Amino acid sequence: MTTRIVELRRGILKKNDELAAGLRTSYSAAGVLVLNLVSSPGTGKTAFLEITLRELKARGARVAALVGDLETDNDARRLAASGAPVRQINTHGICHLDAEMIGKHLDGWEGVALGALDYLFIENVGNLVCPSSYDLGEAIRVALLSVTEGEDKPLKYPTLFNSADAAVITKLDIAGPCGFDRELALHNINEIRPGIRIFETSAKTGAGMEEWLAYLAAERASRNA
Amino acid sequence: MHELSIIASIVDTVTESVAAYPGARVVEVRLRVGALASVIEDSLQFCYGIATDGTPLAGSKLVVKILPVVMHCEPCAADVELEGLQSFRCPRCGEPCSDLRQGRELEIEAIEIDEVEEAV
């Protein structure tokens, strides 16, 4: 009997990373800006996406959304009211979306071609842990935090907030009754992801949406330049 | 809690790799896991025993090496190691850092196998 060490040096999520790299290439060739929205359940991803889709459409942008949940197509039906093409991904128990699910749902999505889109939003499964490990080929990962959740959420879930490219604070309209400490929340986000762009929004009142939409347009323009 | 799918991926990769060594027994599987990889060692170990049963990895040991977060601090012109995950600032000068150099790894570094001596 001889003992041998076999060096593998192989990424455990290599398959996902390779699929994500392929998606990223096709998004970029199509000139579509892809965003991956991540937060805990109940932060208001769907409400934020509803107003985002509606406002972008009103400005003439071509938008679509993929939405992940364990079960039901409730969110897809809500988002479809914006008039944008929306496709539900049911993960049936899996706690995150992966690149393979995205690829499968983009293929054969009737009436939707990447090349005919300006923006594609992916609403991830509500979870602040696992989605941080799975690259979906997105250009921008957006971490959302609502005023009801506690200002220390970024400190509790640093792996996700550190992997984000932009942060969105939601439900600003009820910040007062919730005793939301704005300065502390901004400080904590910055401790985990220094220099990140932060948007303070309310899907109810539309607060912060102008800045958010301007950011999207600028990001899209700079990437397609 | 995606540790089970991570272990399933490890089982696939290692099974594929040991196929090149007929009759070999897997003794140890060594992982490198960054502190920002969102993976808990206890959960990995728990899933490992269950998911390796009936595979060439059955009975082997899972060794997890946790890698601390390393950032590049521009003012210090140096790579610095963070002590925890509560503040992404340079521990030397206190400036915020966003240039991550280590911490998201999730890989199989190596496997240790026992090979059967070939009969002469």
Both tokens of A9, joined, read: 């040096």
Residues B42 and B89 in one domain: no
CB A151 within 8 A of CB A186: no
CA–CA distance, B43 with B39 (Å, rounded to integer): 8
The CATH number covering residue A97 comes to: 3.40.50.300
Residues B52 and B97 in one domain: no
* Greatest Cα pair distance in chain B: 65
Inter-chain CB proximity B38 and A159 less than 8 Å: yes
Residues B15 and B46 in one domain: yes
CA–CA distance, A6 with A3 (Å, rounded to integer): 10
A89 falls within a domain: yes
Residues B75 and B112 in one domain: no
Residues B73 and B52 in one domain: no
Nearest CA of chain B to the CA of A133: how many Å? Answer: 6
Residues B13 and B26 in one domain: yes
What is the CB neighbour count within 10 angstroms for residue A106? Answer: 18
Residues B63 and B111 in one domain: yes
Residues B60 and B92 in one domain: no
A1 falls within a domain: no
Cβ-based contacts of A191 with chain B (< 8 Å): 86-89, 96
Question: Structurally, how many domains does chain A consist of?
Answer: 1
Residues B96 and B110 in one domain: no
Residues B25 and B63 in one domain: yes
A4 falls within a domain: no
The pLDDT, as a whole number, for residue A166 is 98
CB A87 within 8 A of CB A67: yes
Nearest CA of chain B to the CA of A154: how many Å? Answer: 9
Residues with Cβ within 8 Å of B103's Cβ and at least 6 positions away in sequence, in order, are B34, B35, B36, B37, B67, B68, B69, B70, B82
Q: Which helix (H) or strand (E) holds A54?
A: helix A45-58
Both tokens of A185, joined, read: 């929340």
A6 falls within a domain: no
The residues on A that touch B, with CB distances below 8 Å, are 1-13, 15, 94-96, 129-130, 132-133, 155, 158-160, 162-163, 190-195
User: Residue B4 — pLDDT band, cuts 50, 70, 90?
Assistant: confident
Both tokens of B23, joined, read: 């009759």
**Nearest residue in A to B112, CA atom:** A5
Q: For A90-129, what is each residue's pLDDT tens digit?
A: 999 888 999 999 999 999 899 999 999 999 999 999 999 9
Q: Which of A11, A56, A18 is nearest to A135 (CA)?
A: A18
Residues B63 and B4 in one domain: yes
Question: Structurally, how many domains does chain B consist of?
Answer: 2
Distances (CA, A) of B1 to A72, A136, B5, B37, B45: 21, 18, 9, 12, 13
The CATH number covering residue B8 comes to: 3.30.2320.50
- φ/ψ of residue A30, rounded to 5: -80, -10
Q: For A182-209, what is each residue's pLDDT tens digit?
A: 999 999 999 999 999 999 999 999 999 9
**Mean pLDDT rounded to a whole number for chain A:** 96
Both tokens of B76, joined, read: 């210090």
Inter-chain CB proximity A162 and B113 less than 8 Å: no
Q: For A46-73, what is each residue's pLDDT tens digit?
A: 999 999 999 999 999 999 999 999 999 9
A5 falls within a domain: no
pLDDT at B38 exceeding the cut of 90? no
pTM: 0.92
Cβ-based contacts of A9 with chain B (< 8 Å): 107-110
User: Residue B118 — pLDDT band, cuts 50, 70, 90?
Assistant: low
Query: Whole domain around residue B96: which residue ranges?
Result: 69-102
Query: Whole domain around residue A201: which residue ranges?
Result: 14-224
Q: Indicate the burial class of A103 (C-beta count within 10 angstroms; 0-12, 13-18, 19 or more).
A: middle
Q: Which of A155, A163, A166, A194 is nearest to B75 (CA)?
A: A194
